[in-house]
A = this chain, B = another copy of it.
Amino acid sequence: MIFNLKQYLKDKQSLINTSLKQTWLTHDQIQPDVLFEAMNYSLSAPGKRIRPVLIFACAEVLDMPVNDVMPMAAALEMIHVFSLIHDDLPAMDDDDLRRGQPTNHKVYGEAVAILAGDALLSHAFSVLTKLDQSKYKSENIITVINTFAQATGMPGMITGQVLDIKSENKKISLEELKNLHAHKTGALIRLACTTPAILKGADENTVKQFEDYGKAIGLAFQIVDDILDIVGGEDLGKPIGSDQEKNKSTYPSLLGLDGAKKEAQNALNQALDALSGFGEEAEPLRALARYIVERSH
C-alpha cells in the first residue's frame, strides 16, 4: 500500500482547523471583539499545521485516538502562532507579510498584536488542562504542561529568538547556528514529537526515539527553510531573500547551497533511523520527514 501523504495532510489539517474554530477558540461575548478577532486572524490564517500533524502522526504510532491529543495540537499551534505574531513586530523582524497575508500588527496595530500573542500563549495553557484526566494520568498531563512551558520559554524557543536577534549582522559558526535553531524552531518540533508519548506514559526509550526523530526533522526543516529563502518556491507567503537582506547567517551561507542540501539529506536519514524500531504505523512520520526535506514551500 502506498501511503498518500497529500491526502493525509489534507485530512489532518482539516481536523485541526475545525477543532480550533469550533472548540478551542470561540467568541464568548466577554472579551472585546478586537482581541478575539486579532487572535483568530492569525490562528486561522492558512498554515501548513506541521506541528499539529506531527502530534497526530506520533499519536498514531502509539495507537492513541486523535481526539485524545487534540488539546495538545491546538495548544501547540496557538504557541506557534503567538511566536509568529511577536516575531513579525517592528521591534523584531519587522515583517509585513505572513502566510501570504498582512501581519497581525499591520491589521490591528502593534499594541493589540502584542496582546493577541500574549493571549494565545496564555490560552494554550488553558487548553492543555482539558486533556482527558479520566483516560490519562493527571501526573502525565502535568508533565506535558511543563514540557510545553519549557519548550516555549527560557530553555526553548524564546532563547532561540534572542540568539537570532543577537546574531544579526554577525558571522556565526555552524555550531552556533545549529544551537540557535535547535531552540528557535527545534524546541516546538521536538515537543510535538515527544508529548503524545509523555501523555501516554510511554517508557523513556520510546520517548527518546520520538525525540531523536523530532531533533532530526527540526534540523532538516530549518535547513530547507533557509534554502527556500534563496531559491524561492511556490506560495512561500513571505518575501524571498529576506534572510540575506537582514545579514543572517544561514545553512547555505555557511555550507553553500549544495552543502546545505546534503546536510538536509543527512538529517532526513537520521530521522528515518530513529524510526527503525517502528513498523508500518510510523509510515506517516517517514513520509512527513521526506516531505519536510523535499517540499517547495
- Name A's B-contacting residues (CB within 8 A): 28, 30-32, 34-36, 39, 82, 86, 89, 91-92, 109-112, 114-115, 117-119, 121-126, 128-129, 133, 137-139, 141-143, 145-146, 148-150, 152-156, 158-159, 161-163, 165-166
A79 to chain B, nearest CB (A): 9
**Please, which residue of chain B has its CB at the minimum distance from the CB of A133?**
B139
Identical copies of this chain, number: 2
**Please, which residue of chain B has its CB at the minimum distance from the CB of A34?**
B162
Q: Would A114 and B114 be within 8 Å (CB), given that A122-B153, A154-B122 are in contact?
A: yes
Q: Which residues of B contact A156 (CB under 8 A)?
A: 122
Task: Tell me the complex Cα distance, A141–B34, Å.
Answer: 32
Q: Is the CB of B139 within 8 A of A123?
A: no
Q: Is the CB of B114 within 8 A of A166?
A: no
A231 to chain B, nearest CB (A): 29
Task: Tell me the complex Cα distance, A166–B38, Å.
Answer: 14
Q: Which of B92, B122, B137, B155 contacts A31, CB < 8 Å? A: B155
Q: Which residues of B contact A149 (CB under 8 A)?
A: 122-126, 129
**Please, which residue of chain B has its CB at the minimum distance from the CB of A161?**
B115
Q: Is the CB of A158 within 8 A of B112?
A: no
Q: Is the CB of B146 within 8 A of A129?
A: yes
Q: Which residues of B contact A155 (CB under 8 A)?
A: 28, 30-31
**Please, which residue of chain B has its CB at the minimum distance from the CB of A141?**
B142
23 chain-A/chain-B pairs, Cβ below 8 angstroms: A28-B155, A31-B155, A32-B162, A32-B163, A35-B154, A86-B118, A89-B111, A89-B114, A92-B111, A111-B165, A115-B158, A115-B162, A119-B154, A122-B149, A122-B153, A125-B148, A126-B153, A129-B143, A129-B149, A133-B142, A138-B138, A138-B141, A142-B145
Q: Which of B118, B129, B141, B161 contacts A121, CB < 8 Å? A: B118
Q: Which residues of B contact A121 (CB under 8 A)?
A: 118, 121-122, 153
A40 to chain B, nearest CB (A): 11
Q: Is the CB of B129 within 8 A of A145?
A: yes
Q: Which residues of B contact A166 (CB under 8 A)?
A: 32, 34
Q: Which residues of B contact A139 (CB under 8 A)?
A: 133, 138
Q: Which of B35, B89, B154, B159 contacts A158, CB < 8 Å? A: B35
